[in-house]
Each structure stands twice: as structure tokens, then as C-alpha cells.
Structure 1
């Protein structure tokens, strides 16, 4: 090996060592907390199983106009501000308040069965306190945006560590057959071979998870940018409050024709949330594995029921929304989640073995220095 090649290898080795060391403890935390989060939906359903009562066949489904009228009758003087359609549950959550812009804490909330129109306790999937704690620790370490961005920086260090690890592993491959683990050597050599083998086997997965993890830490800034974008759209197409509201069901029918087939997410009334003073704002997800992660919106004239315009999220918001399920293996159901969990476990071994190798090397170097000092002092 030429001198310049040796020098480059030493530089890459130093980069790999220090990027790995700086990020290892945090990455271990992320991998350990990420393991149960891969099965977040399954654990939440197990701890809080949904109880969906049967409805006799032939029961006529009520209109949303009827449900809204029922909700408003309970709170005279209120105006409806929004409807939220419960994911994977036949229910809608209503919010009403004295004014369209009233804080959420001052609104009246109700949940109604879409099949019967009656009040129900059928709620969205609920995450227990333990899983909530684990998720917050994993996403921002309870430090908000600052914690999320810090973990994003750790993810970037992991990417550098992975790339540098590939570079220094290449010459190692010339000396040994792929998959060789020298069990007849010292424990440190055995763990070095395992560290290299497991690291190179999981390299593609590690890159995918680290890149999507870094993107996910930008959730709050991206959400703020999209919110500002929608508000700007609202100002462009704003107007006076409608003299009379058109049918909610008719507005939904108009929006469905303009948006990709999928599931309704939310419905904002004029002057509330993401709507304009004159429009209904209707949000939905697509019905394909990819589009189901994305939001689409439509502005419908609340007085005439005519479509004003549709809204599609910008590329950076799409990148974020598509990276979130990929980060946790939530694209292919339970089989893919199991694969993700296995890779996560292997990564814990890779990180732990890397930490062990550094400590073992540091101890050996320390013993050598002590022995040299003792000889020099004699």
C-alpha cells in the first residue's frame, strides 16, 4: 500500500472513530427507544383495544349536516369550527366555539358515530403514557425543536460514520473472505470482525434510517412553513363571511371530485383553522401506500359550494411525510416492521461493539504508556 493511501486510510479511520464516538450514546438511545416504536400501533391497540359496537345492517347513515346540527344544539350560541375524521374508526370529532378563532381550550368537543349519528366514546388510537414517554425521548429528548435538531445532527454524524466505515472496510476485505470471524484470536479481534460484518450487512438500512431520521427532525419548521403557505393561500382567496352556509355534505362531494381518492382527515369552517373567512377547507389523504402519507386540500366556497382551488404540499413537506413511515418500517405492515426491528437490534450490537472496541483499544494503549513510563523511571 502506498504512503498516500495509508495516509488517506488513517484520515478516514480517524473520521470514523470520532464521528462514531460522539454520536454513539445518543444513537444507542435512539435505537433502544426506536425498537418499541416500530410496533407503536400494535402496542397501542393492545393496551387500549378499540371497542367498535356493531350496528344493525340497513341502519341509515346520517348526513354530516345532521351531526353538526346535533352538536350545535348542545351548545347554543356556538359556531362549528372543525370536524376531524378519526383514523380507522367510523367516527367524527366536532369542535364548536363562541367564535371561529377561539382557542382550542375554549371549544366544545364531541365525538359522533358516523353510522348512527349518536354520541360515542369511539376515539382515535390512543398511545399510553409509557409509549408517549418513549416517543418524546426518541424525537426530541423533551427539549422541543432544539432537542430534535440536536438528534438530527447526531444522525448526520452517523451518516459520515457509515460512509467512512465503508471506506476503511474496503482494504479489510482484500485480506479476509467476506463473513470471516476470527474466533481463534483475541476477544477484541473477534468483536472487530463481528462489528465490521454486521456493519456492512446493515449499511443500506442504516443509511435509510439515518437519512429519514435527520429529515424527521425538521418536522416543526416544515409544519410552520406549510401552515404559513396555506394561510397565504387563504388571504389570496379570502373574502367576507358567507351570508348562508351551503351543505357540508355537498361541499365534501365537491372536494372529493377534485382530490385524489382517499380518506378524509379534517374539515375547517369559514374563519377557523386553515380556512379563509369565506371558504371551507377540506383535507384528505390518498389511498395508495405512498399517497396515504400525504395531505391534499381543497378550498370550497362556503356560500355556493363551488370549488375555488386545490392545494398540494410542497416537495419538502412531501419528503418529510414520506420519510416518517419509512423511518419506522411502516410501509409494508407487520412483516416489514419485524424486519425493521431485527435490523434495529443488529444496529444496537454494532454500536455496542464499536464502543467496546474503542474502550479495549484505549485500555491497551493506557497499559502500554504505563509500562513505558515504568521502564523509563527505572
Structure 2
């Protein structure tokens, strides 16, 4: 590779790294506890705890669960009901002043599916884990914060690619993983920076790309609403406003009949951003590690309870659904969590060592200029 080409790639690597490093350090630090968020929520007392009851205790009808939610927060409406795999007797309810209230202004809690008893979820409404999540997702700045972090993610990917381009000719002079302990401190740091950077390369690319996709979730959901959802509800475009919704009792059975072999993940009530003004939307998923994150929406008329559409998934919604669990290492249980945490810590070292190398080089250049002046 010619020296002029190396200089250009070096400039790209230096500046893309410098611009995004502070943000990436914040993301790496806040992302570390999020890898173990389930465990930390229980440790910090922020996870809901349902009462112990006999295993054969019957569950409430789904409409009774809705009424229990409305009794718990009588001045609000139900936006979503959802289910978590690790709490089979719990129903997660999300409520707000109106169906269209934006997510950060909603309130999340859990209902016991057997009794209707409401159990608060501090981690979902302002606990320490929610602080880490909001910092990691949008820095408490909403969509502008998400788009800024998406841009930083793009710079991170460019920095990785340019670093690989520079690494290839550099390593022709050294054995793989060689650290020159007999050289200066800067040289030792450079060798460690390059070594750990290349070891974490694939993981960093995966986390960087999935982070960019996740950060653009609002835009992808808006595109889905404007394209797929709009097409599914087109027959209702001129329909009069919904006066009263039908009871939710049979929604799950109706959705199961429409999507054999699938299980419900969550229900979007009429007027929310995942449904329409005239529909319940029941989002069904598969039962494998991968398909459990892929949504198939079943639109059910909120007055007649007739299935009006079973949605297909556009590629970008599949990408979004798969990116978030992959980004946080949710696919492979505890071993994958530990691996993700180790790689996260190594990435923090790469970022800090990169800053150190830039600072030492900058100081050396300044000193040389002063000497020759």
C-alpha cells in the first residue's frame, strides 16, 4: 500500500475514532449493566414479584385483566398488554393519558394474570436500570438523541474498517499478537491497541451495526406505519370514529387461529402507534430463539372482532426485531452474556488506548515543532 494511501486511511481512522470515542465510551459503560439487566433488576429490587400461589390457580379472562389495569390507573387508557417468558403468570400493562401518548410518557406495571393484582415495575419507569437504558438509547433527548447516536455508530463502523485497512500492512512486520515489550511505552500501547482491536473486530462490527439499526427504530416504525400498516387498514380510511371497543376476552384465541403454531407477544390497543384507530393488533411470534423476536401482526376489528389482515414482515422490521437482542447479547443465555461483557470491557480498553495514543502523538508533534522553531 502506498504511503499516501496509508496517510489518507490514517486520517479517516483518527478523526472518525476521535469524534465518536466519547459517545462510544458512554455507550460501552451504560451497555455493560444492560447486558445483565434481568439479574440486576432482581438484585436491586426493581423487578416485579408475584405472590406464590398453587400451580393450578386459574387465570382471569383477558378482559378482566384490562378492567384490573383500568382500576389501577383510572384516569388512563390501556395502550399495550404484553407477556414475558420468565414470568408466565404476569401480564405487562402499559397505560397513558391517551392511546397515542409517546412511549416515554407512559407508565408500565405488571398485573397478576390470576388475581388482577397490580405490581409496580420501578425498572420500567425510572429506576437505575431505566436511567442506564435511556442514556444508552437516546441520552434523554428523544429522537434527536437517537439519530446522533446512530451517526456515532456509523462513524464507529468506519473507524473499524479503516483500522483493519491500516492493520494489514502494519502486521506484515510483526508476528500475530506480538507486543514489543522492549520498545517505548507508546509502542507497547499501540501493539495492545491493535491486538485487542483485531480480536474484538467481529463483535464490534455486530454491535455497531445493530446499534445503528436500533437507534433508527422510530424511523423504521414510522415507515412500517406509512407502508405496511396503512395498506392493511386502507378499507377503514373513511370509517367513522370508533365509539366502543369490543371486549378483549377472545383476542388471543382469534390470533392463534389466524397464525397456527405461533404465540402472542403483545397486544396493541386501538389508537396506538402499532395499531389503527379501528383495530386491536395482536403481535404473534415463533417459539425458537430467532423466531421469538420476529413479529407477525394480526389485525382484528375492534368492534366485530373479525380478522381483517395478517401482516407480512418487511425486511427492515425483521432487521429491527433481531438487532436489539443481538445488540445486548440476549440470544444465548448466561454464557453469551458473559462473553458480551468481556468483549465490552475489551472495547473500553481499545477506546481509552486510542485516546492515549492520539494524545501522546499530538504532544510529540507539538514538542518537535517547538524544538525546530
What is the TM-score when the length of structure 1 is the normalising length?
0.82
Summarize deviations over 1:269-307 as a string: whole Å, max 9, x none. Answer: 5x6765556544322333221222232211234555443
What are the residue-to-residue correspondences of 1:264-283 with 2, within 5 Å?
264-268=265-269, 275=275, 279-283=279-283
Q: Which residue of 2 aligns with 1:19?
A: 16
Change (3 A) 1:261 1:345: same
State the partner residue of 1:335: 335
* 1:233 correspondence with 2:232: yes
Shift of 1:190: 0.7
Q: Distance in 2 between matches of 1:31 and 1:97?
A: 32
Question: Which residue is 2:366 aligned to?
Answer: 366
Contact map agreement 1:80 1:94 (CA 8 A) in 2: no
Deviations 1:155-202 (A, max 9, x none): 111111111111111112211111110111110111111111111111
Task: Report deviation, 1:49.
Answer: 3.9
More off after superposition, 223-232 vs 283-292: 223-232
* Structure 2 CA distance for partners of 1:318 and 1:371, relative to 1, 3 Å: same
In the alignment, is residue 320 of structure 1 matched against residue 320 of structure 2?
yes
After superposition, the C-alpha distances for 1:231-288 in whole angstroms (9 at most, x for unaligned) are: 552242465689997664434212112225123311525x676555654432233322
Per-residue deviation, 1:332? 0.9
CA shift in 2, pair 1:193/1:293, >3 Å? same
Classify 1:272/1:115 alpha carbon distance in 2 versus 1 (closer, same or farther; 3 Å). Answer: same
Separation in structure 1 between the aligned mates of residue 226 and residue 291 of structure 2, nearest angstrom:
22
TM-score, scaled to structure 2: 0.83
Q: Is the CA contact (8 Å cut-off) linking 2:6 and 2:166 kept in structure 1?
A: yes
Gapped regions of structure 1 (runs ≥ 5): 374-378
> What is the CA RMSD across the aligned residues, in angstroms?
3.6
Instruction: Assess if the C-alpha contact under 8 Å between 2:279 and 2:300 holds in 1.
Output: yes
Partner in structure 1 of residue 33 of structure 2: 36
Residue 158, structure 1, aligned to residue 156, structure 2: yes
Alignment of 1:214-293 (within 5 A): 214-229=212-227, 230-237=229-236, 239=239, 248-259=248-259, 260-268=261-269, 275=275, 279-293=279-293
Aligned runs of 1:295-310 on 2, under 5 Å? 295-302=295-302, 305-310=305-310
